[in-house]
Amino acid sequence: MISAYFILTLFLTSLLESFVPVVADSSLKVEVSNLRNDKGDVIFLLYKEGASFPDKELRNSFKKETGVIKNDSAIAFFSNIPPGVYAVTVVHDENDDQILNRGLLLPKEGIGFSNYQSIGLTNRPQFSKASFRISKDTCIHVKMIYMK
């Protein structure tokens, strides 16, 4: 026989669970424009807090998407993103080799980071500066930077 205590506990537990908000995953739309040409594709990398950022080998991202260039612009959509702190890196992969080609020190291809308008010796990309919070569907624009 089921006790009244058990029934009451079950009832109260189910009642409380109905009031606990469910945090849904979100989506992120990343846009880039003013690409210097329509060659290749654009690699979009989404990094979680605590990840190796920036990632020279483009391997440590949480999610990766490739965008087709149309009219000097590209867009990527990331879905099923749990709430948290993230940063984005974008690479204009002009020769479609899936890496960021570099000269002696500087990238030969375009690169961009969330929240960055320029990069240099005194303005190196850091997760703390590039990061932003995702808790709902979000759209950001990343500026492409060409060093060469």
Tell me if 103 is assigned to some domain.
Answer: yes
Tell me if 65 is assigned to some domain.
Answer: yes
Tell me if 57 is assigned to some domain.
Answer: yes
**In this structure, what CATH number is given to the domain that contains residue 62?**
2.60.40.10
pLDDT tens-digit readout, 66-99: 999 999 999 999 999 999 999 999 999 999 999 9
Its sign, for the CA torsion 101, 117, 79, 72, is negative
Tell me if 6 is assigned to some domain.
Answer: no
Tell me if 125 is assigned to some domain.
Answer: yes
Looking up tokens 């990840």, which residue turns up? 51
Tell me if 90 is assigned to some domain.
Answer: yes
Q: Is the pTM higher than 0.85?
A: no
* Residues whose CB is less than 8 angstroms from the CB of residue 108 and which lie 6 or more positions away in sequence, other chains included: 101, 102, 147, 148
Q: Which domain holds residue 98?
A: 23-141
Count of domains observed in the chain: 1
Tell me if 48 is assigned to some domain.
Answer: yes
Specify the DSSP element, H or E, that contains 57: none
pLDDT tens-digit readout, 98-142: 999 998 888 999 999 999 999 987 888 999 999 999 999 999 999
Tell me if 100 is assigned to some domain.
Answer: yes
